[in-house]
Structure 1
Amino acid sequence: MSELTNLTLAEARDKLSARDISASELTGAFLDAIAAGNPALNAYVAVTGDEARAMAARSDEKLANGTGGALEGIPLGIKDLFATRGVHTQACSNILKDFKPHYESTVTANLWADGAVMLGKLNMDEFAMGSSNETSCHGKAINPWRRKDSDQALVPGGSSGGSAAAVAAGLCLGATATDTGGSIRQPAALTGTVGMKPTYGRCSRWGVVAYASSLDQAGPITRTVRDNAILLRSMASVDPKDTTSVDRPVPDYEAAVGRSVKGLKIGIPAEYRVEGMQGAVDSLWQQGIAWLKDAGAEIVEISLPHTKYALPAYYIVAPAEASSNLARYDGVRYGLRVDGTDIADMYENTRAAGFGTEVKRRVLIGTYVLSAGYYDAYYLKAQKVRTLIKRDFDLAFQAGVDAILAPATPDAAFAPGEFSDPVSMYLNDIFTVTVNMAGLPSLAVPAGVNGDGLPLGLQLIGRPFDEETLYSLGSTIEQAAGRFEPTRWW
């Protein structure tokens, strides 16, 4: 690995600003790393080398004349869910084969306005539906981490598996990702990286391929908490094109990194001690509690009684919204088209050939729960449960809790194919879906390794639009735990 690709985003930013390195040098080093490592990791599904070099050259000009932006010359990977003008945007689905949009997502437009460089588009579960990056039409992404004394491939988590794998392997300085039920935090935890799922409405969803519109939220995956804070500041904004984005000033999140957490009240939810959670995860949770207590935080037990209903409610609400959002893919205007005897036949043939198994499964579930006779029994009831889940969090915060500490995943990274039935796979989201149902911010931070040498993460859940407190607490855990890097094999 090049010394340049070993830098953190913050270190690279400072070196670029001081003119110790050039953006072209830095981008070239990452393109070389991708060429060497991506065949084994399959993190990128499209590499935009020419565009990256051109963007880096423009960044060098701006850095030379002192007009560089907050991310000037910083090479990033972009999840294939974000529309990038004139560049492969497929949501890793065959139904969007060869699609190149004529517009730019608001989040990526914000990044380019701040001077970031696009290295390429990153692998993901098809339409963000998955917890292991095994449903991509481009094949599974591979975790750069492996168990001790084993050559067995492991998944990087999902749906933002390519984003997490690329960051962990040093194939970019940071990556965009999205989180509908844990798709930032779960892959971050399984790859030893830092992932922030911001408050719903903090980042614009415009130009991000929709899965479940009331749950989807864009956020960053990075190597360090500081890097994450830097990247989120550029990603976040109000957007008139997204009426769910919130018109609030974007704080200087980096200023919160390293801030004292003394006196903060941290809630520990009893309901997150679930059956089947690995002993190493519980031990790490206790270690996290001890670290925060040592830093001066007050630890209190709290109850979130409706947590046990979150997973089934989520897997009603999300597929229901997906069935509506994915109805637009019909082979008429863009993407794949499979002809038939009439237009209805063409619709059926296109969707049968274009959608993968997991997407079809969720669309069918969603269509069923929204159908006449079942709407009240399933969808309406799930929305009522969602209200109760949010109320649990509201009551905890009203009682003075500043943030909540919990595990990010029930176990470490697993092998492809290890979960053969959908319900077992869905259980990987057991600690994360509550946050999306309530629209809250949550930060996953690497906190240790298990007996197999695989990384494990903790998540911090905060009040709406209080990402700053999460970055303060996350940096406290990061400082106590240290940083974790995979042993290079690719």
Structure 2
Amino acid sequence: MRNLRLNGMTSYCESSPSVALSRSLTIAETSTDYSKSWQRRQRHYSTQLPPRLTIARASRLLRASKLTSKQLCQHSYNLAIFGENSLRLNAYAKLLSLDEILAQAQTSDERIQNGDPKSDLDGIPVTIKANIAVGKYWEMPNACSAILVQGAQKSYDTSDRNEEERASGDNVYESDIAKRLLRDCGAVVIGITNMDEFGMGSLGINNAFRQDTVNLRQQKLYSHTYNPMPWLHRIAVLRNSQQQLLTGSEVNDDFWLEQIINSTPTNPHRILDEKSLSDLLDEVQYWICGDNYEQKSSRKDDSPLLSPGGSSSGAAAAASHGSCLLSIGTDTGGSLRLPAAWTSTVGFKPTYGTWSRYGVVSYASSLDTVGFITGTSECAAIAWSCLRSERKAASPDGDYSCWDGQLCRDPTATLYHKGNKISNNDAHHQSDTSMLDQSSVRTPKPLTNVRIGIPAAFSLEEIPPLIASAWSESARSLQNVGGATLVAISDSNLSSEWIKMAIASYYVLACAEASSNLSRYDGLRYGMDVDLHEHANDIDAEDNAALHPLVDMTTLERQISANRAYGFGEETQRRILAGTSVLSSDRFHTHYEAAAFVRAKISRSLESVFRSSLDDGQNEDDEVDIMLVPTALTFPPKLNPMRGDGVEMGDPTAAFANDVMTIPVSLGGFPSVSVPVNIGNLDINGCSAIGMQIFASRGSEDLMLRVANALHST
């Protein structure tokens, strides 16, 4: 793991934040070698992406009867088919049949025609991550792990329920978030998105499940998810050459109606030049499935195959490509925000405990948080408004939360949301109303009286100059355009030493919880059951050497070990073993308890900086409502499907540093949102935007989204 270093910003935090950020940028730019390297990687594609349909526009067209949900969902299905078959994004673990999708859409159309839509999400196409149960559409979530794929098949084979019961949706396993999204809000699910196995990974390359698996060896061949951004840039170039590329004011309702109604599975983007479309698809085929590996390797600097981030890789790819308008996922240490930053989308993680985790396959229970990825901050505000839980007392002491009067089945869903503590910043500013209600903004600038912190503790030497510049410009934009007050948070108020220990603390705690949670998958109660005799031909010499220690085990121990060795992927095994190690008797006190102490210290340090803090010892002039930091310090790396590791990285733990900016927020359970910020005419590794992370005190999602909208709109 890299040694993260401060860039000297601390000594400048006593002055203005502009000076601090300028100093940060100046220091980063002195690294001439790095500056030259990223300049060499620039590719001059059009930085303007194809127009993106928003939830607000789609909902308005549905209610005006200009568009039906069936037409909208047909278009989303066409985009998904094109993305999977033509662009080879591998965003979906399961794409529902068109009949299943249209049946849901028909029900939504009937409600809308009767003037009784359930919410602004009624009739809107959505996707859900593969580790979340979705009733009859995904009753046994496999979390993209081979050990759960066969486990799910085994459960179905022995189930007492017949096909009619499953088809009706009665008595099926359904998560609370899926029930809220589909039944209560009326959204239409079109598919289940891919992910890193059990959420363990930040690159989207640890998906151990393949549809064409036929033996044990093939189960270890990972199936990568690819970032759609490079292909979207090429599509924008093609549309521009056809004079189809419109300005924002010209992308009106008529434009979208024409796009949606005339959409086809082979050309949903409406590229009129068939030769250009054919050339694009040939390029995709060349890079992903080309036979001339030596020639491809010599052109690796030009490869358009990029990581979408992880673990919610499929959710980010689907939302970025536009095949869904909202993608539900989970965020443990940055699994929604990092992919959002690398795919120019908005990744939203609410306060830990806001939404029930019932029906979600566990990774690290004290960190797992249900959230979503969507196209714009406006879409995020609508989704939050529809999905936010209605807090009602279900017991005399008010310790339970409900969704529309029904008891939540996750006891941790009340951890940070009791009584009237939600939106406790309201006393300082008008943040209690939705961002969609513009009447609440009574000042010329939307962020007047909002204090935004720029923490020196998050300023590291590894920040590339372009990201440092985007950080500085984002802060100035919120100040000059939004009217916010910038506050430099010095190292004395938020210690960089604790922030630098966040990664180590996170992986100790997360791996320990993963070791405990995944111990149930032994092939006896849950998971795959390997028949070593049946698959003897699939086990090569290397595997025989690895299995040799099993000869000293009992028959039961041999079976369990084989099940877990073949069922879990390499990254999952690595984290399970690390977690088992830190929970051992000789390391529990030195590793696990120390990590828990660091987590508590980080949480208290961040909480004390917010103006909602109950700590009266803090100087109010140093307190803030929001903090702004970059989402990631890296650009999406190139993927190479012809290599065994699939990515140009030798050390598998090097990817851990991708979450350095998001992990401290997760350790404290704070809400956070990643918003794309344009970087002008530059295009780094196929990306024309950089993710900026906005986080706030627990329960302050409304204000956080208002700031996100102000930043995203500039």
Same fold (TM > 0.5): yes
Question: Any conservation in 1 of the 2:303–2:638 contact (CA below 8 Å)?
Answer: no
| Deviates most, 453-462 or 100-109 | 100-109
The match for 1:180 is 332
Deviations 1:94-119 (A, max 9, x none): 01115279311100110012110010
Q: 1:273 offset after TM fit, Å?
A: 1.3
The match for 1:458 is 692
User: Match of 1:58, SS?
Assistant: helix
| Deviates most, 274-283 or 153-162 | 274-283
Question: Which protein shows a greater Rg?
Answer: 2
- Find out whether 1:198 has 2:350 as its counterpart: yes
Among 294, 301, 324, the residue aligned to 2:488? 301
Q: 1:254 offset after TM fit, Å?
A: 4.3
Deviations 1:66-121 (A, max 9, x none): 22111111100111111112334210100111527931110011001211001010
Among 110, 116, 120, the residue aligned to 2:187? 116
User: Match of 1:57, SS?
Assistant: helix
Q: 1:451 offset after TM fit, Å?
A: 4.4
Task: List runs of 5+ in structure 1 lacking aligned partners.
Answer: 481-490
- Find out whether 1:80 has 2:267 as its counterpart: no
Deviations 1:217-240 (A, max 9, x none): 011100011111222233333353
Among 118, 139, 142, the residue aligned to 1:90? 142
Q: 1:291 offset after TM fit, Å?
A: 0.5
Question: Any conservation in 1 of the 2:348–2:674 contact (CA below 8 Å)?
Answer: yes
Deviations 1:95-150 (A, max 9, x none): 11152793111001100121100101001100000001110124111001229894
User: Match of 2:501, SS?
Assistant: helix
User: Match of 2:653, SS?
Assistant: helix
The match for 1:343 is 556
Using the alignment, how far apart are the partners of 1:6 and 1:437 within structure 2?
33
Q: 1:395 offset after TM fit, Å?
A: 1.6
Alignment of 1:199-278 (within 5 A): 199-237=351-389, 238=401, 240-246=408-414, 253-255=434-436, 259=441, 260-278=446-464
* C-alpha spacing 1:220/1:201, structure 2 compared with 1 (3 Å): same
* C-alpha spacing 1:348/1:253, structure 2 compared with 1 (3 Å): farther
Among 477, 485, 503, the residue aligned to 1:291? 477
User: Match of 1:19, SS?
Assistant: coil
Question: Any conservation in 2 of the 1:337–1:350 contact (CA below 8 Å)?
Answer: yes
| Deviates most, 61-70 or 5-14 | 5-14
Using the alignment, how far apart are the partners of 2:599 and 2:529 within structure 1?
38
Using the alignment, how far apart are the partners of 1:283 and 1:6 within structure 2?
26
* C-alpha spacing 1:457/1:125, structure 2 compared with 1 (3 Å): same
User: Match of 1:266, SS?
Assistant: strand
The match for 1:64 is 113
Using the alignment, how far apart are the partners of 2:526 and 2:598 within structure 1?
37
Matching residue's letter, 2:193: L
Question: Any conservation in 2 of the 1:5–1:29 contact (CA below 8 Å)?
Answer: no
Task: List runs of 5+ in structure 2 lacking aligned partners.
Answer: 1-49, 156-171, 210-222, 235-301, 390-400, 402-406, 424-431, 533-553, 614-619, 640-646
Matching residue's letter, 1:46: K
Question: Any conservation in 1 of the 2:197–2:207 contact (CA below 8 Å)?
Answer: yes
Question: Any conservation in 1 of the 2:346–2:674 contact (CA below 8 Å)?
Answer: yes
Matching residue's letter, 1:180: T
The match for 2:673 is 443
The match for 1:487 is none
Matching residue's letter, 1:299: L
- Find out whether 1:126 has 2:197 as its counterpart: yes
* C-alpha spacing 1:451/1:297, structure 2 compared with 1 (3 Å): same
| Deviates most, 388-397 or 101-110 | 101-110
Using the alignment, how far apart are the partners of 1:256 and 1:163 within structure 2?
28
Question: Any conservation in 2 of the 1:442–1:461 contact (CA below 8 Å)?
Answer: yes
Deviations 1:354-373 (A, max 9, x none): 10000000000001001111
Question: Any conservation in 1 of the 2:185–2:387 contact (CA below 8 Å)?
Answer: no
- Find out whether 1:405 has 2:623 as its counterpart: no
User: Match of 2:692, SS?
Assistant: strand
Point out which structure has higher relative CO (alpha carbons under 8 A, 6+ apart). 2
Deviations 1:402-449 (A, max 9, x none): 010000000221112122213310000000000110000011000123
- Find out whether 1:145 has 2:229 as its counterpart: yes
Q: 1:179 offset after TM fit, Å?
A: 0.7
Using the alignment, how far apart are the partners of 2:206 and 2:674 within structure 1?
23
Q: 1:23 offset after TM fit, Å?
A: 0.7
Question: Any conservation in 2 of the 1:339–1:345 contact (CA below 8 Å)?
Answer: no
Among 431, 436, 448, the residue aligned to 2:661? 431
Using the alignment, how far apart are the partners of 1:328 and 1:255 within structure 2?
45
* C-alpha spacing 1:420/1:55, structure 2 compared with 1 (3 Å): same
The match for 1:10 is 56
Using structure 2 for the length normalisation, give the TM-score.
0.64
* C-alpha spacing 1:256/1:201, structure 2 compared with 1 (3 Å): farther
The match for 1:389 is 602
Using the alignment, how far apart are the partners of 1:214 and 1:410 within structure 2?
25
* C-alpha spacing 1:262/1:180, structure 2 compared with 1 (3 Å): same
- Find out whether 1:280 has 2:351 as its counterpart: no
Using the alignment, how far apart are the partners of 2:180 and 2:560 within structure 1?
36
User: Match of 2:677, SS?
Assistant: strand
Q: 1:334 offset after TM fit, Å?
A: 4.1
Alignment of 1:317-356 (within 5 A): 317-339=509-531, 342-356=555-569
Q: What RMSD in Å do the two structures reach over aligned CA positions?
A: 2.1
Q: 1:458 offset after TM fit, Å?
A: 0.2
Using the alignment, how far apart are the partners of 1:233 and 1:244 within structure 2?
21
Question: Any conservation in 2 of the 1:5–1:30 contact (CA below 8 Å)?
Answer: no
Q: 1:167 offset after TM fit, Å?
A: 0.6
Matching residue's letter, 1:124: M
The match for 2:213 is none
Question: Any conservation in 2 of the 1:265–1:401 contact (CA below 8 Å)?
Answer: yes
Question: Any conservation in 2 of the 1:5–1:172 contact (CA below 8 Å)?
Answer: no
Using the alignment, how far apart are the partners of 2:303 and 2:650 within structure 1?
21
Using the alignment, how far apart are the partners of 2:520 and 2:690 within structure 1?
38
User: Match of 2:364, SS?
Assistant: coil
Using the alignment, how far apart are the partners of 2:341 and 2:484 within structure 1?
23
Using the alignment, how far apart are the partners of 1:211 and 1:264 within structure 2?
36
Matching residue's letter, 2:483: G
* C-alpha spacing 1:361/1:191, structure 2 compared with 1 (3 Å): same
Q: What is the number of residues matched between the two proteins?
A: 477
Q: 1:6 offset after TM fit, Å?
A: 4.2
User: Match of 1:41, SS?
Assistant: coil
Q: 1:205 offset after TM fit, Å?
A: 0.8
Question: Any conservation in 2 of the 1:219–1:232 contact (CA below 8 Å)?
Answer: no
Using the alignment, how far apart are the partners of 1:362 and 1:202 within structure 2?
27
Using the alignment, how far apart are the partners of 2:187 and 2:409 within structure 1?
22
Deviations 1:193-252 (A, max 9, x none): 001111001111111111100001011100011111222233333353111112568976
Question: Any conservation in 1 of the 2:356–2:408 contact (CA below 8 Å)?
Answer: no
Matching residue's letter, 1:471: L
Deviations 1:163-200 (A, max 9, x none): 01111111111100111000011000000000111100
* C-alpha spacing 1:256/1:91, structure 2 compared with 1 (3 Å): farther
* C-alpha spacing 1:208/1:234, structure 2 compared with 1 (3 Å): farther
Using the alignment, how far apart are the partners of 2:433 and 2:110 within structure 1?
26
Deviations 1:34-56 (A, max 9, x none): 11111311101101123211111
Q: 1:477 offset after TM fit, Å?
A: 0.7
